[in-house]
Chain A
Amino acid sequence: YLELVSPASIFSDYTWGPRNEHVVAPVVLSLLSAMSIWIIVWYLVSHLSALVRERDTQLEETNERMAAALKERAQHLLVTTHELKSPFAAIHANAKLLQEGHCGTLPDCAVDITRRISARCRRLTAVIQEMLQLANLTSASQSELHWQRVDLRDILRWCIDQVGPRAQQRKITFAETIESAHVRGVVDHLKILFTNLLSNAVTYSHPGGCVRVRCAINASGEPVTTVSDDGIGIPAEKLPRIFEEHYRTNEAVKHNKESSGLGLAIVRQVAQMHKIHLQVESADGKGTTFRLRFRPCGIVSTTRQAEEMQDGLFDDC
C-alpha cells in the first residue's frame, strides 16, 4: 500500500553531512544553479535581441539611404545625358551647314574635316542614347515596369526587322528557326536586348555572312534563344570582360570604330532583371554564339510544375 508522507517529512529524513547517504545540498545547489543559469540566459537573450533589433533598424536605414542615393545618381545621369544631346545636335547641324555648301565651296581638306565632325557627332549621340538606356534600366524599380506575358517570337521578328536595313548594307542574311515561346517580361527591354545582340552579330560578321537566330522550348520547358554569327569572334582570354561597360576588344575596334562598348552592358542588365541565364561561346576568328535561357512560363498542369512555381523556378504568366 501507499504511504502518504507530508512534504516536510521528506526533507526531515535528509540531514547535512557526508556520512548520510541522502544529501540535500546537491539538489538545492542544482536548483539554484538552474535558476541562475535561466536568469543569465534570459538577461543575455533580451539584451542580445535588443542589440539585434537596434542593428536591424540601423541596417534598414542605411539600406534606404543607399537605395535613394543610387536612384538619385541614375536620375541625375538621365538629366545630364538629356542635356548633352541638344548641344551635339547643334554642332552636327552647323557642320552640315559647312558640308552642304551653305557657306560657299570649301577646299576638299575642309570638307573632309566637316565630315569627320558630323560623323563624330552622330556617334556621340548614339553613345549618349545608350548611356540613357543603361541609366534607365539601372534606375527603374521592378514595380514601375510593365511586366506582361510576351511571345519571344514576336520580339525576335520585330528586332530582326529593325536590324534588317543594316544587314542588307553589309550583305548579311538571317537564318531563322523561331518557335513561339512565352515569357514574362518587359517588352521594351527585351526589344533592346535582342536588338543589341542582333546588331552586334551583323556588325561583327564578315560581309556576306549569315546570322542564325533560333528560339525553342527545351526539355525542361524553358524557352531558349540563340543568336550566332560566323564573324570575327572573341579571343578566349577576353570573353570574361565583354559585358563590362565601355570594354571593347582590339579586334572589335579594328573592325568597327563606332561603338560605345555599352551594348553588352545593357544586355547584361536586362538579362539580370529578367533572370535570364546568359551564355557566350566564341573563339578568335570563329564567330560568336549568345545563348539565353529564360524562366519557364505557362499554365501549371503538374504537381512538379506547381512545386517549381513555389520554388520560384516558374513564372506565373
Chain B
Amino acid sequence: MAYLMIVEDDEDFANAAATVLSHAGHEVAVHLDIDGARASMEERTPELVVLDVMFPEDASAGFELARAMHRPDSKLKDVPLIMLTSVNAKFPLGFSSHDIDQDWLPVSDFLQKPVDFNVLVSRVEALLQKSDSPASKDA
C-alpha cells in the first residue's frame, strides 16, 4: 500500500491506470499537468511516480520534470520514476530502457503505450520493493 502519483495529460488513460493501481491496493493521485504535479510533489512526496513524456506545448516536459526531480539538492531524487511513451512521429528518436542515464534520462523504468496493465502493476511493485529494502535506503 503506497502513495503513487500519475502525471499524464490524457485523462482517459490516466483514469484507467489509476483504477488499476488502486485496485492493486495503492493510493493514487492523478495530475493532468506538470505544474500541478510539481506543486503536489513538494507538499507530499509520492513513493513512486508514473510520468508521461509528452504534454501540450512541450514535447519533452516529462524529461524536464524527471531531471528536475533528480537534481542533487532535490528531496525527490530517490523517488522511483516509470516513464511512459507512445511511439510518435513528431519524436522520431525512439526511447527505450537502453537510454536510461542518471544525467540525461534519470528514470527507473520505461514503458511503451499501449500499456499492459499487468506489466505496469508488476513493475510498480518491483520498484516499490527495491526502494523499501534497507540496502537501497540512504544512511
Contact = CB atoms under 8 A, between A and B. Distances in A.
A254 to B, nearest CB: 8
A246 B90 contact: yes
Interface in B87-125: 90
B56 A248 contact: yes
Contacts of A250: 33, 56-57
Contact of B12 (A116, A238, A246, A248): A116
B11 A257 contact: yes
A246 B56 CA distance: 9
Contacts of B45: none
Contacts of B9: 253
B40 interface: no
Interface residues of A, number: 11
16 contacts: A116-B15, A120-B12, A238-B57, A246-B90, A247-B56, A247-B57, A248-B56, A249-B56, A249-B57, A250-B33, A250-B56, A250-B57, A252-B56, A253-B9, A253-B56, A257-B11
A258 to B, nearest CB: 11
B13 to A, nearest CB: 10
A250 B33 CA distance: 9
Interface string A244-283: 0011111011000100000000000000000000000000
Interface in A121-140: none
Nearest to B15: A116
Given A116-B12, A246-B90, A253-B9, 6 more contacts: A120-B12, A238-B57, A248-B56, A248-B57, A253-B56, A257-B11
A271 B12 CA distance: 35
| 3 closest cross-chain pairs (CB), A and B | A253-B56, A248-B56, A116-B12
Interface of B: 9, 11-12, 15, 33, 56-57, 90
A128 to B, nearest CB: 15
A250 B90 CA distance: 19
A247 B15 CA distance: 23
Which of A247, A249, A257 has the most chain B CB within a 10 Å cutoff?
A: A257
Interface string A217-253: 0000000000000000000001000000011111011
Nearest to A252: B56
Nearest to A117: B12
Contacts of B57: 238, 247-250
B89 to A, nearest CB: 10
| Residue from the set B11, B56, B90 with the largest chain A CB neighbour count within 10 Å | B56
A58 B12 CA distance: 52
A201 B24 CA distance: 44
A151 B10 CA distance: 42
A264 B1 CA distance: 46
Contacts of A247: 56-57
Contacts of A257: 11
A247 to B, nearest CB: 7
A146 B37 CA distance: 51
B90 to A, nearest CB: 7
Contacts of A238: 57
A180 to B, nearest CB: 40
A73 B19 CA distance: 41
Contacts of A246: 90
A43 B71 CA distance: 69
A158 B47 CA distance: 56
Contacts of B90: 246
A120 B9 CA distance: 14
A238 B56 CA distance: 12
Contacts of B33: 250
Contacts of B11: 257
